[in-house]
Homo-oligomer: A and B are copies of this chain.
Amino acid sequence: MDNQNQALDFILQSALLWSGMVKKADQQLSVHGISFSEFGILHQLSLAPQQRLSRIELANAVGLSASGITRLLQPMEKIQLVEKEQNARDARVSLVKLTPTGQQIYLDALQTCNFFATQFVSPLTPRQQEMLVDLLQRL
């Protein structure tokens, strides 16, 4: 098994893992009424200073396009998980801010997601999990 095949295996193996992972995550998170993508948004917002980010920052943080973010946020605003806020310095950017409701839903969903994620990586020892996260972060 040479290096090239190893790299190819990595890509194809990831495809397989990922498709299953998202499906299960969405399913588990559905009890909170949110999708995995929406969880990702809540997560990034909760990490952000003052829990607010521009839409572009959000898009980069979760790996979606700007238009994807626009459409994802529409229903989230409607059910008050996040709210719009405009930037005083630059009228182009419309900031997204986590509401208290959104914060609460996030904390609930975080429990579920942590449980799921922990279960997902459970075939590995903690030492191996650490190594895996470390390796991925270098890519």
Contacts and interface: CB of A to CB of B under 8 A. Distances in A.
* Copies of this chain assembled into the complex: 2
Contacts of A30: none
Contacts of A61: 16
A40 B12 contact: yes
A64 B110 CA distance: 27
A30 B5 CA distance: 21
Given A132-B135, A135-B132, A136-B13, A121 B19 contact: no
Interface secondary structure of A, over-half rule: helix
B10 A132 contact: yes
Contacts of A5: 114
A121 B7 contact: yes
Contact of A138 (B124, B133, B135): B124
Given A14-B21, A21-B14, A7 B129 contact: yes
A68 to B, nearest CB: 10
Interface string A100-139: 0000000000100110111011011010111111011111
Given A15-B40, A63-B20, A139-B120, A133 B10 contact: yes
